[in-house]
Amino acid sequence: MTLLRLAHLSDPHLTVPLDDVPASAWWNKRALSRLSWARGRRQLQQPELLAAALEDIRAHAPDHLAVTGDVTNFSLPEEFRAAARWFAELGAADRVSVIPGNHDALVPVPRAEGWAHWAPWMRGDGGEDLPWLRRRQGVALLGLSSAVPTAPGIAGGTLGSSQLGWLGQQLAALKTEGLFRIVLLHHPPADGVVSARKALTDRAAFRAVLREHGAELVLHGHSRDARFDPLPGPDGLIASFGLPSISAIPNPKDEGARWHLLEIARADVGWQVGVTVRAVDDSHRAFVNAARYTLNINS
Ligand SMILES: [Fe+2]
């Protein structure tokens, strides 16, 4: 019996008009990021493609959506407000779960001008801020933040020991509850997925928590290619899925937009997850089935 039909999408990099943004907003790391955006991403991130993705996701009527960060480009207050409007389009806050990415913490932003706008979608059932826990239909979603402001040229992330301690406790408790545990983080947890300047600094410590306490699935963004990385767990390997930007047309640096429909079900032993890969077609205007397979998870 299917417990939850979950849509996973990542790195939408919403674009907002930049003409009205005051010049002072660019006197920091944003300037470098804008330069790189103007050179490449501006042409590769397509609002029309994002709209087509939303239509495609709606047509599949998932129970829940998980957005694994990089919703903005420059962490501008205008972008945080636009992102909140976009989340509302995706669905009610109890059906849409969000974590931030490095672009959403490009520079320090006062909470009231930034993440506070996302609070309804980025908090747990108990009203807690990041890290948060949401229980939905036999599935536990654990939202982490690896988004911390870094030096210019650095796009890495860090979870930190207190968040990792929280994660270990939650994973152990949720295991005894018999829930299907999904960990959401923006940066890839496996080694060698991205360059050192873009990597999660404490990914080894994150993997050590998973190795000890287990999880049924890990979902992330940030990598510009789709990823499937097995991570060691206490009862075998844990599947870690990474998605490229949902608004990027295929190009030498980006595999191209895709999202996953994950249909989570209890099996006689363990769990089954039906994975449907929806990827942009050759017209760059619509999404088609790129793959369909089933994961058997015996934990
Ligand atoms: Fe990122």
pLDDT band at 115 (very low <50, low <70, confident <90, very high): very high
Give the pLDDT confidence score for residue 12 in this predicted structure. 96
Expressed in angstroms and rounded, the spacing between residue 71 Cα and the centre of ligand 1 is 9
Give the pLDDT confidence score for residue 1 in this predicted structure. 84
Expressed in angstroms and rounded, the spacing between residue 104 Cα and the centre of ligand 1 is 9
Expressed in angstroms and rounded, the spacing between residue 247 Cα and the centre of ligand 1 is 13
Give the pLDDT confidence score for residue 105 in this predicted structure. 96
Give the pLDDT confidence score for residue 225 in this predicted structure. 92
pLDDT digit string (tens) for 134-190? 999 999 999 999 999 998 889 999 999 999 999 999 999 999 999 999 999 999 999
Give the pLDDT confidence score for residue 291 in this predicted structure. 96
DSSP string for residues in the chain:
-EEEEEEEE---------TTS-GGGGSSHHHHHHHHIIIIIHHHB-HHHHHHHHHHHHHH--SEEEEES---SS--HHHHHHHHHHHHHH--TTTEEEE--GGGGSS---GGGTGGGGGGGSS-TTS--SSEEEEETTEEEEE--------TT---B---HHHHHHHHHHHHHHHHHTPEEEEE-SS--STTSS-GGGSBTTHHHHHHHHHHH--SEEEE---SS-EEEEEEETTEEEEEEE---TTBPP-SS----EEEEEEEEE-SSSEEEEEEEEEE-TTSS-EEEEEEEEEEE--
- Among the residue ranges 36-40, 92-96, 147-151, 155-159, the one predicted with the least confidence is 36-40
Expressed in angstroms and rounded, the spacing between residue 155 Cα and the centre of ligand 1 is 7
Give the pLDDT confidence score for residue 44 in this predicted structure. 75
Q: Name the percent of the chain lying above pLDDT 70.
A: 100
Q: Over the chain, what is the mean pLDDT?
A: 95
Expressed in angstroms and rounded, the spacing between residue 125 Cα and the centre of ligand 1 is 26
pTM higher than 0.85: yes
- Among the residue ranges 18-27, 64-73, 129-138, 167-176, the one predicted with the least confidence is 18-27
Give the pLDDT confidence score for residue 17 in this predicted structure. 87
Average the pLDDT over 68-79 and give the result: 96
